[in-house]
């Protein structure tokens, strides 16, 4: 019984470590989603301003330069590891929105995995709290069913 409790504690700790890893991944996804949403908002804001308007563009973390908005019909979008593609404005918006949808779907998968791990932890805790009499009755029931 003592060994079983130790095994259960070890399994619970392993599940908790997995949950923490999944939560960290969700945090990274959330940061990426927020960045993509900011990109959408910025593109839409620039389009709304229209041609000829002056904007300040950050250059590094402490400097900004003044620029005029010209044509907003093309957008350069990152499509992979150091690879960018020039897309039509509407196409770029759709591409970014699709990326957000993919990340949200993946986030949901991770949340479901966390829920499953919590269910496993609850099962293990219930098993650990089972009294010796309950264990014996369960074993007898299993033996009857296997005959």
pLDDT of residue 134: 66
pLDDT bucket at 135, cuts 50 / 70 / 90: low
| Neighbouring-strand partners of residue 84 | 78
Q: What residue ranges define each of the domains in the chain, with the CATH number in brackets?
A: 2-132 (1.10.287.370)
Q: Which of 50-54, 134-138, 139-143 has the lowest mean pLDDT?
A: 134-138
- Rounded Cα distance between 47 and 103, Å, is 25
Whose tokens are 């900004």? That residue is: 64
| Neighbouring-strand partners of residue 57 | 65
Would you tell me how many other CB atoms lie within 10 Å of the CB of residue 23?
12
pLDDT of 88-98, one tens digit each?
999 999 999 99
- Rounded Cα distance between 136 and 4, Å, is 15
- Rounded Cα distance between 52 and 108, Å, is 42
pLDDT of residue 2: 65
Would you tell me how many other CB atoms lie within 10 Å of the CB of residue 92?
20
| Neighbouring-strand partners of residue 77 | 85
Would you give the end-to-end CA distance of the chain in angstroms?
26
Higher pLDDT, 132 or 45: 45
pLDDT of residue 1: 57
pLDDT bucket at 129, cuts 50 / 70 / 90: confident
Sign of torsion over alpha carbons 55, 58, 63, 69:
negative
Segment holding 17, helix H or strand E: helix 2-49
The whole-number average pLDDT for the span 4-8 is 80
E-strand stretches of the chain: 54-59, 63-68, 74-80, 83-88
pLDDT of 19-60, one tens digit each?
999 999 999 999 999 999 999 999 999 999 989 999 999 999
């Amino acid at each position: 019984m003592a060994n079983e409790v130790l095994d259960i504690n070890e399994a619970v700790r392993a599940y908790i470590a997995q949950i923490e890893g999944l939560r960290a991944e969700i945090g990274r996804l959330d940061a990426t989603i927020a960045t993509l949403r900011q990109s959408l908002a910025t593109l839409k804001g620039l389009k709304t301003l229209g041609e000829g308007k002056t904007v300040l563009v950050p250059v590094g973390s402490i400097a900004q330069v003044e620029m005029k908005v010209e044509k907003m019909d093309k957008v350069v979008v990152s499509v992979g590891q150091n690879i960018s593609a020039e897309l039509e404005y509407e196409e770029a918006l759709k591409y970014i929105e699709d990326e957000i949808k993919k990340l949200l779907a993946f986030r949901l998968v991770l949340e479901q995995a966390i829920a499953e791990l919590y269910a496993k932890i609850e099962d293990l805790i219930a098993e650990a709290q089972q009294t010796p009499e309950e264990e014996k009755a369960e074993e007898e029931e299993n033996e009857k069913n296997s005959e």
